[in-house]
Amino acid sequence: MADTALKADTALKQDPGTLAVGLLAADPAPGSTPGPTAQEIAAIREDFPVLHRTVGGHRLVYLDSAATSQRPRSVLDAETAYSTGCNAAVHRGAHTLAEEATDAYEAARSAAAAFVGLGPDQIVWTRNATEALNLVAGVLSDPLTAQDPHAAPLALRPGDEVVVTEMEHHANLVPWQRACARSGARLRWLPLTDDGRLDLTRLEEIVTPATRVLSFAHVSNVLGTINPVDVLVARARQVGALVVLDACQSVPHLPVDLSALDVDLAVFSAHKMLGPTGLGVLAGKAEILQALPPFLTGGSMVSTVTMETATFQDPPQRFEAGTPPVSQTVALHAAVDYLTALGMDRVAAHDRTLTARALAGLRDLPGIRVLGPVQAVDRVGAVSVVVDGVHPHDVGQVLDASGIAVRVGHHCAQPVHRRYGATASTRASLYVYSTPDEVDAFLDALSGVRAYFKKA
Amino acid sequence: MSLDQLYQQVILDHDRERHGCGLRPAPEGTADAESHQVNPLCGDQVTLRVAVRQTPDGPVVQDVSWAGEGCSISQASLSVLYDLVVGRPVPEAEELLGAFRTMIRSRGTVEPDEEVLGDAVAFVGVSRHANRVKCAMLGWAAFEDALHRADAGPVPATAAPVPLTAVPVPVTADPVPATADRGEDR
């Protein structure tokens, strides 16, 4: 599967020096790699079949990639090729198909690991990132963890503290609420500044020697803010806290090296990075994964089972109970290859350019408030807005009438909306196939919304 | 379906005017109850109070008042509800409620009866948008819940008053349609 041909490959592997720096690269951060040219983006779009459909007679303008990204043909083809040419249970069976399936499954693990700077044994497949976070929070608050000689130092106990931030997705908040309720630990959080960033003025007061876990979003799914992992990790090391990184919105959009970031555990999601649904990743330091007891139990994760007890395999198998989503891992492998061929530096540059264009356009629209940083600095292209006097559901409906797909609602992050005085918002989110024209179409449609509801 | 078929003028007008908006005490001699409903998709909510007066001809919806936040569909729906049910006998209000729910859930297959539904026929376009059904039903689900509890407890002059605030209950009247957005699953 690794050698699946990419249509855009040829164009993208040209010497960057010979590429015309077109309108797409109008606003790169100083010293950064330029993004793809307009011609390259056109070639990329050819790889995504769904982008050629229409909605209500309009060309689809897909601006909801932070919720789920679209899949290129190579990803769809890889999954089909596996399903039609192999499809067998992994890690068992002596037949050819089973061996090929196991090879494909483990090759995908190696590819995903390399993509984030880790080794294959540091990648655990889960059903989604939410399950990965529940795994971590669940195991740390399991009474059995406190009794396990290897894991006991990581176990949450009464008097311990877990720190998150006010900008978390519910998936990195609710599991910790439950973990604290189970273990008697206390949940605390870092507040936010008015301009949509972590307020670190009280960092030392909130992350203290009582803090056992510091779990936070690398990038906010509502604000787009890129959080300073280095600062937070440094503080966690001072106090001896375990660092858990929710990388769902960073791994798809930025070059992410989890080894260099020095986080203990991280999670991300296949379907936000051109891959399939039904597959998440828990990544971690080998010694941390080795110390953690299992979460879900059953087949595939045990060594010896008697009627009374069981022993467990080493990571990552220890955390992969039951039949895994094999064809999805094969598809993610193709997605990782696709993003690698594009180059994550260039993906990030493209994101930055379009984000700057969106933010500049929004500045000129009356009655529109951006949630999050208003400059394309340390933020990605998830741009959430509140339209004065018009509910996000109504905004989304008006945009849909022009074929523009955006996200409306609270985006599974109610506290951050409450922090900025909103119940819900309208979010446009960008990816490798997004174009300046699409950003402009969004701005244009948005500019007519208040007039439609006679609020302007 | 065009945007204007969904957002009929009646809806846009009621969204601005919001009849019955602002919670107020129940008139004397009525039994009242309150219902708080939340749309988990977007966090929109409404608190709605119904006052029922027992008359020789049976119970009558004496007053409805509400406070909430939400989209134009949900706010206009509450405003139209107010216009249609205040002053009506309870059985008629219940019939209206049933007709409204049938129309909204019909996925566009029901031709609404304007004789029964009055201005509420303007919401017919909502039935074609599965993820907006809950918006239109939010206020009506609150009305149904509060009405049942207010009507169940007519207050004789000497009896203890019915508690003003009922326990908040989730919207159970309208389960999330299969196509609706439940959040950002990852």
> Which residues of chain A register pLDDT less than 70?
1-32, 456
**Cβ <8 Å between A391 and B44:** yes
Separation CA B131–CA B178 (nearest Å): 9
Interface test with B, best of A246, A273, A282, A397 (most B CBs within 10 A): A397
Task: Measure B81 CA to nearest chain A CA, in Å.
Answer: 20
Mean residue pLDDT across chain B: 84
Task: Measure B156 CA to nearest chain A CA, in Å.
Answer: 41
Nearest Cα residue to A34 out of A284, A333, A289, A342: A342
Specify whether A366 is located in the same domain as A421. Answer: yes
Specify whether A269 is located in the same domain as A137. Answer: yes
Specify whether A164 is located in the same domain as A292. Answer: yes
Specify whether A306 is located in the same domain as A347. Answer: no
Tell me how many degrees the CA angle A14-A16-A18 measures, rounded to the nearest 5.
80
A248, A272, A453: residue with CB nearest B12: A453
Looking at the domain assignment, is residue A13 inside a domain? no
Please say which residue of A324, A340, A356 terminates a domain.
A340
Looking at the domain assignment, is residue A117 inside a domain? yes
B12, B42, B185: residue with CB nearest A393: B42
Given the structure tokens 């109008």, which residue do they identify?
A26
Specify whether A227 is located in the same domain as A103. Answer: yes
Q: How many domains does chain A have?
A: 2
Please say which residue of A306, A340, A374 terminates a domain.
A340
Contact in structure between A409 and A424 (CB atoms under 8 Å)? yes
- What is the model's pLDDT at position B1? 62
A221, A280, A423: residue with CB nearest B184: A221
**Cβ <8 Å between A409 and B72:** no
Looking at the domain assignment, is residue A195 inside a domain? yes
What distances in angstroms separate CA B66 from CA A391, B48, B93, one per listed residue?
A: 18, 4, 17
Task: Measure A303 CA to nearest chain B CA, in Å.
Answer: 31
Please say which residue of A277, A307, A340 terminates a domain.
A340
Specify whether A351 is located in the same domain as A265. Answer: no
Contacts of B51 (CB under 8 A, 6+ apart): B26, B27, B30, B31, B32, B61, B62, B63, B64, B150
Task: Measure A381 CA to nearest chain B CA, in Å.
Answer: 17
- What is the model's pLDDT at position B7? 92
- CATH number of the domain to which A294 belongs: 3.40.640.10
Contact in structure between A66 and A332 (CB atoms under 8 Å)? no
Contact in structure between A289 and A316 (CB atoms under 8 Å)? yes
Specify whether A133 is located in the same domain as A258. Answer: yes
Specify whether A196 is located in the same domain as A143. Answer: yes
Specify whether A288 is located in the same domain as A369. Answer: no
Give bridge partners of residue A96 from the DSSP assignment: none
- What is the model's pLDDT at position A32? 67
Looking at the domain assignment, is residue A176 inside a domain? yes
Nearest Cα residue in chain B from A423: B43
CB contacts, 8 Å: A427 with chain B: none
CB contacts, 8 Å: B16 with chain A: 454
Q: What are phi and psi of A418, to 5 degrees?
A: -60, -40
Taking any CB pair shorter than 8 Å as contact, residues of chain B touching chain A are 2-3, 6-7, 12, 15-16, 41-44, 69-74, 129, 132, 135, 181, 183-186
pTM for this prediction:
0.87
Specify whether A306 is located in the same domain as A403. Answer: no
Specify whether A220 is located in the same domain as A124. Answer: yes
- Tens digit of pLDDT for each residue in B103-119? 999 988 888 888 889 99
List, as one string, the DSSP characters of A341-363.
HH-HHHHHHHHHHHHHHHHHHHH
Name the catalytic one among A86, A180, A248, A412: A412
What is the separation, in whole angstroms, between the first and last Cα of chain B?
31
Given the structure tokens 């999050």, which residue do they identify?
A372
Specify whether A354 is located in the same domain as A314. Answer: no
Looking at the domain assignment, is residue A43 inside a domain? no
In terms of residue numbers, what domain contains A57?
48-63+343-452
Q: Does A409 touch chain B (CB under 8 A)?
A: yes
A341, with CB counted inside 10 A (0-12, 13-18, 19+), is middle
List, as one string, the DSSP characters of A24-60.
GGSSPPTTPPP---HHHHHHHHHT-GGGG-EETTEE-
Looking at the domain assignment, is residue A277 inside a domain? yes
| % residues pLDDT > 90 (chain B) | 64
Looking at the domain assignment, is residue A18 inside a domain? no
- Tens digit of pLDDT for each residue in B9-43? 999 999 999 999 999 999 999 999 999 999 887 77
Kindly indicate whether the ipTM for this predicted assembly is greater than 0.90, answering yes or no: no
- CATH number of the domain to which A354 belongs: 3.90.1150.10
Looking at the domain assignment, is residue A31 inside a domain? no
